[in-house]
Amino acid sequence: MTEAAPSPIVDSHCHLDFPDFDGEHDAIIARAREAGVTRMVSICTKLRQEPVVRALAEAHEGIFYAFGIHPMSVATEAPVTVEQLVEIARHPKLVGIGETGLDYHYTAESAAQQQDSLRIHIEAARQTRLPLIIHSRDADDDMARILTEEYRAAPYSCVMHCFTSGAELARAALDLGFYLSMSGIAAFPRSTELREIFAATPLDRVLVETDSPYLAPPPYRGKRNEPAYVAKTAAVGAELYGLDYADFARLTSENFDRLFWKAAGARS
């Protein structure tokens, strides 16, 4: 009997250009395909890396990319303008703006610069109609305030990538119509409170991701993460929602298509 092919699923956030993957892209992508990962979004976090990430997307079917300045880098990288973001977004495989956001855990001293950068990225998301990809760590109050202020000024779409913040920020994001993305952290045994937040999140607002090469889910925790392992996180998500894996994979892929409309249209 022929073994059934794995259910198709999307890794909505990975970093294929990071040195951890140097020289292994073909093998990593092949393992992802074997696990059912049909599409991936590789996130570029520095302007000088944009040509590299773009080339990876151009060279492989089903790989798309996003670009933004990571909040932890705003003090050391040249600031990006709305106009630059909009121009880069013209590429057919550029499907999101970011990641951007606020990180007060390691880089609180650049909070003001981070907030300015975040607002620039929000405006680019508005102008391009592409989803904003948010990184948030130890900045729940400012994040909820800025996202809400900006949305009330003019709407935009957004995903809270690798969501690990508190229930109040989750509610604020969901109230604005945004999405929460589940990473390998949600599969860690001690992440009970985080799983409770996702369990209370409408299923049509959930995405899954690896954030690879970081945050590998069990049984790979502590090792290099890669897109194939999104299936392990999705298995935990399916159990959380009381669904078969195939149904959870299908529904989160539909959510991805709705938010990342440009990737849904391209399919290549």
Binding residue per annotation — 121? no
Give yes or no for a contact between 134 and 160, defined as CB atoms under 8 angstroms apart: yes
Vertex 110, ends 161 and 164: CA angle to 5°? 25
Q: Is 25 labelled as part of a ligand binding site?
A: no
Total domains in the chain come to 1
99 is in an annotated binding site: yes
Q: Cα–Cα distances in Å, from 35 out to 11, 28, 97, 224?
A: 11, 11, 27, 16
Give pLDDT tens digits for 236-268: 999 999 999 999 999 999 999 999 999 997 754
Number of neighbours of residue 175 by Cβ within 10 angstroms:
11
Query: The pTM is what?
Result: 0.96
Q: What is the CATH number of the domain that holds 205?
A: 3.20.20.140
Residue 15 is labelled as binding a ligand: yes
Q: What is the pLDDT of residues 158-177, one digit of tens each?
A: 999 999 999 999 999 999 99
Quote the domain boundaries for residue 241.
Answer: 9-266
Give residue 195's identity as a one-letter amino acid code.
R
**4: in domain:** no
Give dist(CA 230, CA 184) in Å, integer: 8
Query: 161 labelled as ligand-binding?
Result: yes
